[in-house]
Amino acid sequence: MKTLTRTLLISSFFLALSQGVQAANPAHGKDLHDANCLSCHSSLMGGNPNVIYTRSDRRVNTIDGLRKQVTRCKTTVGVPWPEDQIEDVVEYLNQNFYKIK
Ligand code: HEC
């Protein structure tokens, strides 16, 4: 019994640990982004939504700035994304458009 309890404790500890350090998931970020963010950027950019991220006078040029802008826009949209989903979207946008190191 003691061994079983200890095994359970140890495995749930490692499970929590692995979830805590889970990397951002850009594929999930793309789904979230495309479902919630495209239409408004599309009307702003004359039908070509992702140009907002690649135009020469874009606003965002740092990861921190990207995170802030994603947070600002998701508040405008009113989607209740927790921190990890914001990170998924930030990772998607950075890998595909911003390419900030
Ligand atoms: C209701 C309209 C609207 C929606 C919906 C919207 N945005 Fe935006 N977004 C804007 C506007 C306006 C700007 C600023 C454009 C400018 O400054 O020229 C912007 C700019 C941005 C930028 C910065 C672009 C740059 O210049 O580098 C990012 C990143 C961004 N939005 C992310 C998102 C994300 C993520 C979502 C979905 C949660 C989203 N937006 C949904 C209106 C919107």
| CA–CA gap between residue 45 and residue 2 (Å, rounded) | 63
Q: Is residue 53 within 8 Å of residue 98, measured between CB atoms?
A: yes
* 19 pLDDT more than 80: no
| CA–CA gap between residue 76 and residue 5 (Å, rounded) | 47
Question: Which residues line the pocket of ligand 1, CB cutoff 6 A?
Answer: 33, 36-37, 40-41, 44, 52-53, 58-60, 66, 69-70, 73-74, 76-77, 79, 89, 93
| CA–CA gap between residue 66 and residue 86 (Å, rounded) | 10
Cα of 28 from ligand 1 centre, angstroms: 18
Side chain identity at residue 6, one-letter code: R
Q: Predicted confidence band at 20 (pLDDT cuts at 50, 70, 90)?
A: low
Q: State the chain's mean pLDDT as an integer.
A: 89
Cα of 41 from ligand 1 centre, angstroms: 6
